[in-house]
Chains A and B, each alone.
Chain A
Amino acid sequence: MNDDKDIFKKIRELPPEMNIEEVKGLITGLTAAPLPQNHWFPNITLRNILMITLPTTVVFSTLLMLFPVKEQEKIAVVENPTPIIKELVVDTPPQNQSIQSVTRPIKKVEKPKRSSIVGKFKIDTLRDIKRMHPILKIPRAVLVLDIEPLVDHTAQKKDSVANLNVQIGKNCELFQGNISRFSMYLKTYLLEDGLYKLKDGKLRISFFNSKIVINRRLIPEKLQEKYAIFFAKNQIIPCPVFIIEITKKYIAAGKITLNGFKGRVEGSITLNDLNKIKIEDIQPIGTIRKKRNVEDFHSLVLRGDTEVHIKDGELPSVWLELANIEEEAVITSVDQSVLTIDAMSLGHGQNATVRVFIEAPIYRSIIVEDMAKVVSKRAIMAEDLSIIVRHQAEAKLEIDAEEVTIDVISGDLVVFGRAGQQIITGRPPLHQGSFDNSRLKVKAQ
Chain B
Amino acid sequence: MNQRQKEFTELYEKCHEAFLRYCSALAYGRLEVQDLVQDVLLSAYTHFDAIQKKEDLLHYLIRAARNRAISIRRRKHFQTEILEHQKERLVAQGLSLEMALDVQLLYWCLDQLPEKQGDALLLFEISGFSIKEIAHIQKSKENAVKTRLSRARQKLKELMAQKPNVHSTLGILGTLKTITL
- Do these two chains interact? yes
B interface footprint on A1-33 (CB within 8 Å = 1, 0 otherwise): 110100110111011111010111011101101
* Cβ distance B56 to chain A, nearest Cβ, rounded Å: 18
B120 at the interface (CB under 8 A from A): no
A55 at the interface (CB under 8 A from B): no
The answer to whether A26 and B38 touch across the interface, beta carbons within 8 angstroms, is yes
Q: Provided the pairs A8-B125, A17-B24, A31-B5 are in contact, do residues A2 and B93 lie with their beta carbons within 8 angstroms?
A: no
A interface footprint on B83-100 (CB within 8 Å = 1, 0 otherwise): 000000110010100110
The answer to whether B20 and A4 touch across the interface, beta carbons within 8 angstroms, is no
Main secondary structure of the interface of A (DSSP, over half): helix
C-alpha spacing A20/B106, complex, angstroms: 26
A336 at the interface (CB under 8 A from B): no
C-alpha spacing A23/B5, complex, angstroms: 12
Contact size range, B = 35 or more
Chain B residues 35 to 78 lying within 8 A of chain A, measured CB to CB, are 37-39, 41-43, 45-46
The total number of A-B Cβ pairs within 8 Å is: 85
A48 at the interface (CB under 8 A from B): no
The answer to whether B5 and A17 touch across the interface, beta carbons within 8 angstroms, is no
The answer to whether B103 and A33 touch across the interface, beta carbons within 8 angstroms, is no
The answer to whether A18 and B8 touch across the interface, beta carbons within 8 angstroms, is no
Determine the residue in chain B with the shortest Cβ distance to A22: B34
B167 at the interface (CB under 8 A from A): yes
B102 at the interface (CB under 8 A from A): yes
The answer to whether B12 and A17 touch across the interface, beta carbons within 8 angstroms, is no
A96 at the interface (CB under 8 A from B): no
Partner of B103, one of A7, A16, A28, A38: A7
C-alpha spacing A394/B105, complex, angstroms: 122
Q: Provided the pairs A12-B128, A23-B41, A37-B39 are in contact, do residues A28 and B24 lie with their beta carbons within 8 angstroms?
A: no
C-alpha spacing A7/B153, complex, angstroms: 13
Determine the residue in chain B with the shortest Cβ distance to A20: B16
In the complex, which residues of chain A have a beta carbon less than 8 angstroms from the beta carbon of B25?
Answer: 11
The answer to whether B106 and A7 touch across the interface, beta carbons within 8 angstroms, is yes
C-alpha spacing A35/B160, complex, angstroms: 41
A36 at the interface (CB under 8 A from B): yes
* Cβ distance A45 to chain B, nearest Cβ, rounded Å: 12
Q: Provided the pairs A26-B37, A27-B5 are in contact, do residues A7 and B99 lie with their beta carbons within 8 angstroms?
A: yes
- Give the 7 A-B CB pairs with smallest separation, nearest first: A16-B20, A8-B125, A17-B33, A7-B106, A30-B45, A2-B102, A7-B102
